[in-house]
């Protein structure tokens, strides 16, 4: 086991403190993620919700607010289903509270065969990625990913990530509980039939584009429905909506 330097431990403690300062939403905010990104040393860090059974990415928050999330780009949601991390989690190579690098799972020559890597990761400057499994509730899970423009993550990098993982998991559980306690007394009966259809599809793991196709409406209309649903349930994201409905 790697012995972390005192400065690493201090900065990790600062990050854990930030997790409990930013509790108005279930999702971890960009500013808090940026603290973690600086600690580990990466070009981009994201907190991502996914359906590991259907290999779908549902929602993602990144630390760079000026950058567009890859999830908003056409074709990425389908391409990322090839990510080796899904298979690693199912096989046990990636366990809750641990991390694994993309290049641990596939050599660079193999990664270049994947569309998500060639069409989306490399143009963004990502050569390698460290994936940390944070939480899992049934088929849904949360991971934090750290992207770099070079290959490899040191033992120190992995030790830092594995150290903070259980604290992130605990903080997310606290956020969900607080959101449930603060939430207004609203149920599905207060939603329109169309809103209930949108909620059912979102809860099943469908992306905005998939909801749009299923209901024969535009992604923009889906977004408008979600805005109204979020207001009714006093939430701000898919993650917090699902947590509210299952609390």
Residue-wise pLDDT tens digits, 64-79: 877 888 888 888 988 9
Q: How many domains does the chain have?
A: 2
Residue 43 lies in a domain: yes
Q: What CA–CA distance (Å, rounded) separates 11 from 34?
A: 12
Q: What pLDDT is attached to residue 247? A: 60
Looking at 30-39, 47-56, 102-111, 144-153, which range is the least confident one?
47-56
Highest mean pLDDT: which range of 127-141, 156-170, 220-234:
156-170
Residue 5 has pLDDT above 90, yes or no: yes
Backbone angles phi, psi at 55, to 5 degrees: 55, 55
Task: Please provide the distance, in angstroms rounded to a whole number, between the alpha carbons at the two ends of the chain.
Answer: 38
Could you tell me the pLDDT band of residue 43, with boundaries at 50, 70 and 90? very high
Rounded to two decimals, the pTM is: 0.77
Residue 160 has pLDDT above 70, yes or no: yes
Residues 221 and 125 in one domain: no
Residue 200 has pLDDT above 80, yes or no: yes
Residues 171 and 194 in one domain: no
Angle among Cα 202, 237, 216 to the nearest 5 degrees reads: 35
Residues 192 and 89 in one domain: no
Residue-wise pLDDT tens digits, 93-146: 899 999 999 999 999 999 999 999 999 999 999 999 999 999 887 778 899 999
Residue 99 lies in a domain: yes
Residue 166 has pLDDT above 90, yes or no: yes
- DSSP assignment, residue 191? S
The domain spanning residue 190 has which CATH number?
1.10.10.10
Q: Which domain holds residue 194?
A: 184-242
Q: What CA–CA distance (Å, rounded) separates 198 from 215?
A: 8
Highest mean pLDDT: which range of 8-12, 54-58, 66-70, 199-203:
8-12
Q: What pLDDT is attached to residue 102? A: 96
């Amino acid at each position: 086991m790697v012995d972390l330097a005192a400065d690493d431990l201090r900065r990790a403690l600062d990050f854990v403190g930030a997790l409990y300062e930013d509790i108005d939403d279930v999702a971890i905010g960009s500013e808090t993620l940026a603290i973690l990104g600086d600690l580990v040393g990466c070009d981009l860090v994201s907190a991502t919700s996914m359906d590991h059974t259907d290999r779908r990415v549902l929602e993602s928050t990144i630390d760079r607010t000026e950058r567009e999330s890859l999830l908003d780009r056409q074709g990425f949601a389908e391409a990322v289903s090839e990510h080796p991390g899904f298979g690693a989690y199912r096989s046990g190579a990636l366990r809750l509270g641990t991390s694994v690098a993309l290049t641990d799972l596939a050599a660079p020559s193999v990664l270049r065969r994947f569309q998500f890597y060639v069409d989306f990761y490399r143009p963004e400057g990502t050569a390698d990625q460290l994936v940390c499994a944070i939480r899992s509730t049934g088929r849904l899970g949360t991971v934090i990913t750290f992207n770099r423009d070079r290959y490899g993550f040191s033992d120190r990098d992995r030790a830092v990530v594995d150290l903070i993982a259980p604290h992130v998991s605990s903080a997310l559980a606290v956020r969900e509980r607080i959101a449930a306690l603060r939430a207004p007394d609203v149920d599905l009966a207060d939603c329109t039939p169309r809103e209930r259809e949108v909620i059912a599809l979102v809860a099943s793991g469908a992306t905005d584009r998939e909801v749009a196709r299923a209901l024969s409406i535009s992604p923009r209309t889906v977004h408008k429905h979600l805005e109204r649903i979020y207001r009714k349930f006093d939430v701000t994201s898919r993650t917090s909506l699902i947590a509210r409905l299952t609390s």
